[in-house]
Amino acid sequence: MPGLPPGAVHHGLQRGPRGRARHRGPLRELPPHPGAHVRLRPVRGVGVREFIVEADGGSRGNPGPAGYGCVVLDAATGETLVETYEYLGVVTNNVAEYRGLLAGLRAAHDLDPSARVHVRMDSKLVVEQMSGRWKIKHPDMKPLALAAGRVFPPGRVTYEWIPREQNKHADRLANEAMDSEGSASSVRQPSPAAEADAGAAAKAETDVPAAKAEADVRAAKAVAAPGWAPADMGAPATFVLLRHGETPLTPQKRFSGSGGTDPSLSEVGREQADRAATALARRGTIQHILTSPLTRTRQTAAAVADRLGLEVTVEDGLIETDFGAWEGLTFGEVRERYPDDLTAWLSDPEAQPTGGGESFAATATRIAATRDRLVAAYAGRTVLLVTHVTPIKTFVRLALGAPPESLFRMELSAASMSVVAYYADGNASVRLLNDTSHLRP
């Protein structure tokens, strides 16, 4: 019979006088044939796979330095399949709890999108809100709850409150995240059984360093996302990324990070800031302004704020990378003085500039934490972030799911604008890159 492997047994039929099929004899159940279906493995059971997610979040100060931890367990065996933790920067305890829940659900979904999940947390607030018994009123938690509710279809996830002493695994991971203060953003540790179920792609992922793995996981999700969101997703958090205007170092193409002289805007830079302010006022969409703490960004932000009548908030997470001993030098001067360090820096995102500067991997961890915190704080709002070359490129890189080397393949002019939108389900859309049309006479 076409389509069956050699040796497969099947019922034969013969035709009656009018062409109707009839059985040659009484039906009987055939034993499994050893040669049939040679590519199929034995079926262990027909039930849906079940996971337990235990999650916890904490904030030392509320708001204060915060982090979450979560673990995915096999409900049948109790085996630990995935562990995840992440430092979040300064957020509230409840936001950290929700971030832990969201990370745990996404980790379970990565293992098996068709599974059923039972969530256990010691946060009464999160359990009651996600169970639908309490209303969600706080604007910081609404988008996180919405995103958590969309990971699995309705009815697939149940929630249970447990005492803190029964949530020690996730609590330990959350404390590790807070202790790290951003030096390690995420750890995922699938067991051998989980790797076998997840396939070769998940197995390869376990060899990636923690900070890089987290960036790659976020990137992969962004790549898989469409360029738009469903109508019921709600308005995204939209970040208008404005690079500061020129300083005396900009046209000379000198390294100018957070560890240098902190130059002010030049006359050209001030004019560029004014032109950017005029363009943004004409659009009329900016609702909040945040800036890096460095002088050149604060001056650029002030020019826009004066035109729009808005206040400026200083956000330390938007600061430029620290280029160590390379501050104030040109690329050629660095290559002449520190050739080995420069070669390593160009090829390895973990490499630091000479003298203990900030690596691109560390910058990515910092920007990812800043992004997540701001997306939660400004859900549905349009926010102007006045910052620098490396942070803007990193925002774009993570949104696109591009590798670290893509930082060297983007060009950002002084006072240029880029735009990234972030949706409640965690997806991102790059809408604009290096727009300088507002600078033309």
* Closest-CA residue to 148 (of 53, 271, 60): 53
For the chain, what is the total number of helices (H) and then of strands (E)? 13, 13
Task: Confirm whether 244 is a catalytic residue.
Answer: yes
| Of 86, 244, 246, 327, catalytic | 244
* Closest-CA residue to 188 (of 95, 72, 76, 77): 72
Amino acid of residue 373: R
The C-alpha angle 357, 361, 364, rounded to 5 degrees, equals 105
How many other CB atoms are there within 10 angstroms of residue 349's CB atom? Answer: 20
Q: Output the six-digit token pair for 374.
A: 């701001």
318, 292 Cβ separation under 8 angstroms = yes
How many other CB atoms are there within 10 angstroms of residue 434's CB atom? Answer: 16
Rounded to an integer, what distance in angstroms lies between the CA atom of residue 32 and that of residue 145? 49
Q: Output the six-digit token pair for 306.
A: 């004066």
Write the CA distances from 266 to 105, 186, 270, 318, 392, integer angstroms.
49, 41, 6, 21, 21
What DSSP line would sit under 353-382, residue for residue?
Answer: PTTT---HHHHHHHHHHHHHHHHHHTTT-E
Q: What torsion do the CA atoms of 179, 428, 108, 92 make, to the nearest 10 degrees?
A: 40
Which residue reads 């560890």 in tokens?
Answer: 259
With a CB cutoff of 8 Å and minimum separation 6, the contacts of 145 are 98, 129, 130, 136
Report which DSSP code applies to 239.
E
Annotated binding site for substrate: 296
| Count of CA atoms in the C-beta half-sphere (13 A) of 144 | 26
Rounded to an integer, what distance in angstroms lies between the CA atom of residue 42 and that of residue 23? 30
Write the CA distances from 68 to 5, 57, 95, 219, 344, integer angstroms.
52, 4, 9, 20, 33
Task: Confirm whether 320 is a catalytic residue.
Answer: yes
Annotated binding site: 296
| Of 86, 97, 246, 320, catalytic | 320
Rounded to an integer, what distance in angstroms lies between the CA atom of residue 407 and that of residue 335? 19
Q: Which residues are catalytic?
A: 244, 320
